[in-house]
Chain A
Amino acid sequence: MRVIVQKFGGTSVATKEKLFVAAQRVVRAKREGYAPVVVVSAPGRKGDPYATDTLISLAKEIDPQVPVELRELDLLMTCGEIIGIVLMAQAIKAISGYPTIALTGGQAGIYTDGNFGNARIVRIEPNAIWEALRKDMIPVVAGFQGVTERSDLSGHGHITTLGRGGSDTTAGALAAALEAEACEIYTDVDGVMTADPRLVGNKARVLPSVTYEEVSEMAHLGAKVVHPRCVEIAMAHRIPVWVRKPESENPGTIIKERARDLPEKMFRFTGVTHLPYVAHLKVHVTHQDDLPEIETEIYRLLGEAGIVTYFVSKSKNLFEFAIVRDNLEKVRSLLDGLAIPVSVNRHSRLYLLTMAQKSVAHRERKRMLSQIQPKIEIVDAPVEVTTNCAIVSLVVLNTREVPGIMARILEAIIDANISLLQVADAQHSVSCLVLEEDMVKAVNVLHDKFELHSGVSEKLLTL
């Protein structure tokens, strides 16, 4: 049996017309001899009647003072997908007469841990899907959901949701469990693109083929095409993933083979991504020897507050990191005025962090500390904040094998008169921290510099 998994996102099933276009894709696959297994998201986008945020607000509006249990929220959030599968099953039947069966995540055998709102798949028992396929039916499975093992309270397991990108994850996981020939992700773009067309216009090109690592890198660095959890599962089970539009005859993008299966000297300039809303912080420390203790304490505080740091770097008298800008006020409340005692080589100092120069609060705290601890040296540690930053990344397969990438990036950045705050490189990318006002320009100049508009991303290159 040639199984393929076809996943349709919310916009693909938002209206009756779109639903029929999507259903036609399924019917076509069936007529071509495949055994399609369909995964469906909740119909519509954010704000639409069955979208996740709308459903959540229904419960929260009962009384905003009374928090909704996470278990109950998950029950509620799964309703959109359940509506989606019934409509899709009905649409397929209506246009083709093929028998269908709509299955919730639990009915499809997707078992998760009990982490409501962000559950992880622990095993899949696809007996119901196999049974349906053997009876020549088309199973239509609700994305984004699973079920825990049996519990005393519910008799059955508790219904869970898989968190961000959950329907993609469902599709990848079912494709892996069924050893499918391919997983097809139908979305509102033609495939994985070299950059966001809203930023670079028609210079953006659809990539015909990318590796799992490239697309995962792009997704983590801001591209919104396919969720990295789906890619990770597909990579582990070597399932090819297609990304395309339901209504388009363009082939879209195929995501396949692992970078480590390719010859080491192969590389490719894949695309440019962007992540706005970032803040950059630099902590200045007067005595180099004291830096590790201060750094450890600050990272501990940030970690405990659930704040993730990017672009970490340190030099003699400062260390720096970036954060998501939404967290800046939380960071300010943690660090501004924070006193860190440091004892190194028989010297004791009290570092007083300040995020606003000459603030009254800082001056008062310093005065108070010097009264309490008259014998200890109190040293200011200014925290320099750049509020409006963005991360612009060049994704390159096997970055480390290719000399000259940083030189070309710098040429483009200098020619465009862009301020470069920091750089960071990984196995498959080089990222630049720039001011947010330069973000669109930076994406464009890197896209141009690496000639991504000319189809350079369409083939692997050799050193």
Chain B
Amino acid sequence: MGRRSERVMTIIEPVQEEFERKRGVTGIAVEEGLVHVELQVPTNLKERLNVFKALAEAGVSLFLIKFHPDSIHFLIRREVLNKAQKVLQRLNRPTKVTRDCVLISVLSSAMRDLPGVMARVAEALYEQGVDLLETGDSHDSVMILVRKIDSEKVVNALRQKFGL
């Protein structure tokens, strides 16, 4: 089975009827089958480099990477978890692994021109009382990572918030 077929990705995006896409939030993408890793590593970049090198050598690709004062966090796909776990055991650092995570991305063609999206996402999560594992953003999305068990209610809350 190829890697593409193992992924579960849903995009909720209303049909575009006008010539140029409407500004503002245009859709929500939901990606399942992700694992969140929190690894305690001091701020020292050289120590952090060793972690990234070890994972790279094992062929594990990472995303939603975040540097925190005493740890680094990242996401991996479920299908490389075994490979990653061998590396993490070898590194022998305190590690927290959360399986069955879902990455929910609020999409817009120009997020940097759109104030208030992060506020409405934070409001939706706060109102639902959902434990947020990670946040991130890019020019075309605001990303939130939640447990699978919470994902449906978060997606519904976001759809309501953004009228999708």
Binding site for B on A (CB under 8 A): 120-124, 169, 173, 176-177, 217, 220-221, 228-229, 232-233, 236, 264, 292-293, 295-296, 299-300, 302-315, 318, 321, 399-404, 406-407, 410-411, 413-414, 420, 422-427, 429-430
Complex CA–CA separation, A229 to B48 (angstroms): 38
Residue in B18, B119, B136 whose beta carbon sits within 8 Å of that of A300 in the complex: B119
B68 contacts partner chain A, Cβ-Cβ < 8 Å: yes
Complex CA–CA separation, A313 to B144 (angstroms): 10
Q: Which residues of chain B are within 8 angstroms of A169 by Cβ–Cβ distance?
A: 20
Known: A264-B3, A292-B132, A425-B65. A414 touches B46 (CB 8 A): yes
Q: Which residues of chain A are within 8 angstroms of B68 by Cβ–Cβ distance?
A: 313, 315
Known: A123-B19, A220-B112, A296-B126. A426 touches B132 (CB 8 A): no
Query: Which residues of chain B from 4 to 42 have any CB-CB distance to chain A below 8 Å in the complex?
Result: 4, 16, 18-23
Complex CA–CA separation, A427 to B136 (angstroms): 12
Q: Which residues of chain B are within 8 angstroms of A292 by Cβ–Cβ distance?
A: 122, 125-126, 132
Known: A232-B21, A411-B49. A400 touches B138 (CB 8 A): no
Interchain CB contact under 8 A, B53 and A407: yes
Interchain CB contact under 8 A, A401 and B61: yes
B154 contacts partner chain A, Cβ-Cβ < 8 Å: no
Q: Which residue of A lies closest to B20 (CB)?
A: A121
Interchain CB contact under 8 A, A310 and B112: yes
Complex CA–CA separation, A224 to B66 (angstroms): 28
Q: List, sorted by A's number, 21 A–B pairs whose CB atoms are closer than 8 Å.
A: A121-B18, A121-B19, A173-B20, A228-B110, A299-B118, A299-B122, A302-B116, A302-B118, A303-B115, A303-B117, A311-B137, A312-B135, A313-B134, A314-B134, A318-B69, A403-B55, A403-B56, A403-B58, A424-B137, A426-B139, A430-B65
* Size of B's binding interface in residues, CB under 8 A: 58
Complex CA–CA separation, A103 to B9 (angstroms): 45
Complex CA–CA separation, A233 to B139 (angstroms): 17
Complex CA–CA separation, A305 to B3 (angstroms): 43
Complex CA–CA separation, A423 to B118 (angstroms): 18
Interchain CB contact under 8 A, A426 and B141: yes
B81 contacts partner chain A, Cβ-Cβ < 8 Å: no
Q: Which residue of A lies closest to B23 (CB)?
A: A120
Interchain CB contact under 8 A, A404 and B56: yes
Q: Which residue of B lies closest to A162 (CB)?
A: B20
Interchain CB contact under 8 A, A423 and B66: yes
Q: Which residues of chain B are within 8 angstroms of A425 by Cβ–Cβ distance?
A: 63-65, 136, 138
Residue in B20, B65, B118 whose beta carbon sits within 8 Å of that of A303 in the complex: B118
Interchain CB contact under 8 A, A296 and B61: no
Complex CA–CA separation, A229 to B108 (angstroms): 12
Q: Which residues of chain A are within 8 angstroms of B118 by Cβ–Cβ distance?
A: 299, 302-303, 309, 312, 321
Nearest 3 A/B pairs, CB to CB: A303-B116, A404-B56, A426-B138
Q: Which residues of chain B are within 8 angstroms of A309 by Cβ–Cβ distance?
A: 118, 137
B71 contacts partner chain A, Cβ-Cβ < 8 Å: yes
Q: Which residue of B lies closest to A426 (CB)?
A: B138
What DSSP secondary structure best describes chain B's contact surface?
Answer: mixed
Number of A-B contacts (CB under 8 A): 155
Q: Which residues of chain A are within 8 angstroms of B67 by Cβ–Cβ distance?
A: 420, 422-423
B161 contacts partner chain A, Cβ-Cβ < 8 Å: no
> What's the minimum C-beta distance from B104 to chain A, rounded to whole angstroms?
14
> What's the minimum C-beta distance from B79 to chain A, rounded to whole angstroms?
13
Interchain CB contact under 8 A, A407 and B20: no
> What's the minimum C-beta distance from B144 to chain A, rounded to whole angstroms?
10
Best-buried of B4, B16, B65, B120 by chain A (most CB within 10 Å): B65
> What's the minimum C-beta distance from B108 to chain A, rounded to whole angstroms?
11
Complex CA–CA separation, A414 to B53 (angstroms): 13
Complex CA–CA separation, A124 to B19 (angstroms): 7
B95 contacts partner chain A, Cβ-Cβ < 8 Å: no
Query: Which residues of chain B from 79 to 106 have any CB-CB distance to chain A below 8 Å in the complex?
Result: none
Known: A303-B117, A404-B56. 13 other contacts (CB 8 A): A120-B23, A228-B110, A232-B109, A302-B118, A310-B137, A312-B135, A312-B137, A400-B63, A403-B60, A410-B52, A420-B67, A424-B137, A425-B64
Residue in B16, B21, B122 whose beta carbon sits within 8 Å of that of A296 in the complex: B122
> What's the minimum C-beta distance from B38 to chain A, rounded to whole angstroms?
9
B62 contacts partner chain A, Cβ-Cβ < 8 Å: yes
Q: Which residue of B lies closest to A400 (CB)?
A: B63
**Chain B 122-164 interface mask (CB, 8 Å, partner A; 1/0):** 1101100000101111111110000000000000000000000
Complex CA–CA separation, A221 to B55 (angstroms): 27
> What's the minimum C-beta distance from B87 to chain A, rounded to whole angstroms?
11
> What's the minimum C-beta distance from A424 to chain B, rounded to whole angstroms?
6
Q: Which residues of chain A are within 8 angstroms of B137 by Cβ–Cβ distance?
A: 309-312, 424
Complex CA–CA separation, A217 to B140 (angstroms): 9
Complex CA–CA separation, A303 to B115 (angstroms): 5
B1 contacts partner chain A, Cβ-Cβ < 8 Å: no
Interchain CB contact under 8 A, A313 and B122: no
Q: Which residue of A lies closest to B2 (CB)?
A: A264
Q: Which residue of B lies closest to A295 (CB)?
A: B122
Interchain CB contact under 8 A, B140 and A220: yes
Q: Which residues of chain B are within 8 angstroms of A293 by Cβ–Cβ distance?
A: 126
Interchain CB contact under 8 A, A312 and B69: no
> What's the minimum C-beta distance from B19 to chain A, rounded to whole angstroms?
5
Complex CA–CA separation, A315 to B120 (angstroms): 20
Known: A123-B19, A173-B20, A414-B46. A402 touches B61 (CB 8 A): yes
